[in-house]
Structure 1
């Protein structure tokens, strides 16, 4: 009889432990589902942020390419303008030399530096010599 009593006690104890274990597993499962949901929401938010950053970067890259093209065009136009202005100044200097202008006249009237004016004067003299020999 006493063994029957011990057996019933063990059986009851086993049943209580099984119920406690099921309750613990159920609670743990609910916590895991909540954590999974939180992690999925965080992952979704991070994906959205990455998409926003990526689209912003792409837009910024396109703007930079456009600005770079405009800058290159502006540099080319500036170079063209400077070369045209330079040739006009040099042509004007040659005309002034033919009319008897001095190096100081070239500096003041054509906006040349002294070295440029002297070089143009030398070139003009050299071209006269070459034309005299031919």
Structure 2
């Protein structure tokens, strides 16, 4: 093969080799692009799912907050009802009256008579009142 023939073969083969090389390079770039697009699609799907979960968590948290507020209100109402019941209890009123009499200086016999308390209970009230005033 002569130099001229070799030059002719090379002049024909070089563009073909170059075209094949470019095609091969572009094919690799295209595959990488497809992988990156797939990764992006997966990331977008995960982001969508995370946003949905966050939305559900927020909704649940708001429900819990509302329920806690309702329960707090119920506890306050129950405490108020208990206090009102305690104040309306006839025995409680007697003890409250007896304590008031003790604090005003009534003697043991007077508290026993006016509040219809046994001696032991009246003495206990006097002891409690003395402890309360010395504290």
TM-score by length of 2: 0.66
CA distance in 1, matches of 2:71, 2:116: 48
Q: Counterpart in 2 of 1:12?
A: 16
Q: What are structure 1's unaligned runs of at least 5 residues?
A: 123-134
State the alpha-carbon separation in 1 of the partners of residues 20 and 115 from structure 2: 122
Determine whether 1:27 maps to 2:31.
Answer: yes
CA gap of 1:17–1:101, structure 2 versus 1, over 3 A, is closer
Equivalent residue runs for 1:1-134 within 5 Å: 1=4, 2-85=6-89, 86-91=92-97, 96-98=112-114, 102-104=118-120, 107=121, 114-116=123-125, 118=126
Root mean square deviation, CA, Å: 3.2
Deviation at 1:11, TM superposition (A): 2.4
Are 2:87 and 2:93, in contact at CA under 8 Å, matched by a contact in 1?
yes
| Alignment length (residue pairs) | 114
What residue ranges of structure 2 are gaps of 5+ in the alignment? 100-109, 131-135
